[in-house]
Amino acid sequence: MADFTQQVIDEFRANGGTVTLAGFGRSLVLLHHVGAKSGIERVAPVMALRTDDGTGWLVAASKAGAPDNPAWYHNLLAHPDIVIETPDGDVAVHVEELHGGERDAAWARFTAASEGFRQYEERTSRTIPVLALHRR
């Protein structure tokens, strides 16, 4: 998985945010996050949807429907002021976890955008967290 992730990151950076691998296109952002325990900076490519007002992004901690959340989710909660790489450049953001109806509405946008997210939801018993990335 580490090799695949690095290939995605490399293609994103080489092609101005476009990733043809696995058909991602321009739907990804690269999250720069710091390990909650290790303190090590890491980069994770994730699908992101622009917020309705266009000032931020939504990301879902789906981990392809695994029973646990991805490590980057815990890191973002511990260190919520991060930088993301977007197809249009680097952006400083503040991370906020969505809850209740706000989370459900955001999650519905992911399931409408991709069959994969509907499948992830079916594979797991956990509620998949959705995070809003607000420009700082």
Give me the pLDDT at residue 1, please. 63
Rg (CA), the chain: 14
Residue 18's CB is within 10 A of a number of other CB atoms, namely 14
CATH superfamily of 27-135: Electron Transport, Fmn-binding Protein; Chain A (2.30.110.10)
Give me the pLDDT at residue 120, please. 96
Pair 62, 128: CB distance under 8 Å:
yes
Please state, in angstroms and rounded to a whole number, the distance separating the CA atoms of residues 33 and 103.
22
Angle between helices 100-113 and 115-123 (to 10 degrees): 120
Q: Average pLDDT, stretch 2-18?
A: 95
Domain residue limits, the chain: 27-135
Average pLDDT, whole number, for the chain?
95
Give me the pLDDT at residue 77, please. 97
pLDDT tens readout for residues 61-73:
999 999 999 999 9
Give me the pLDDT at residue 2, please. 78
pLDDT tens readout for residues 80-128:
999 999 999 999 999 999 999 999 999 999 999 999 999 999 999 999 9
Provide DSSP, 68-128: S--HHHHHHHHS-EEEEEETTEEEEEEEEE--HHHHHHHHHHHHHH-HHHHHHHHH-SSPP
Give me the pLDDT at residue 68, please. 97
Pair 85, 29: CB distance under 8 Å:
yes
Residue 52 scores a pLDDT above 90? no
With a pLDDT cut of 90, the percent of the chain lying above it is: 93
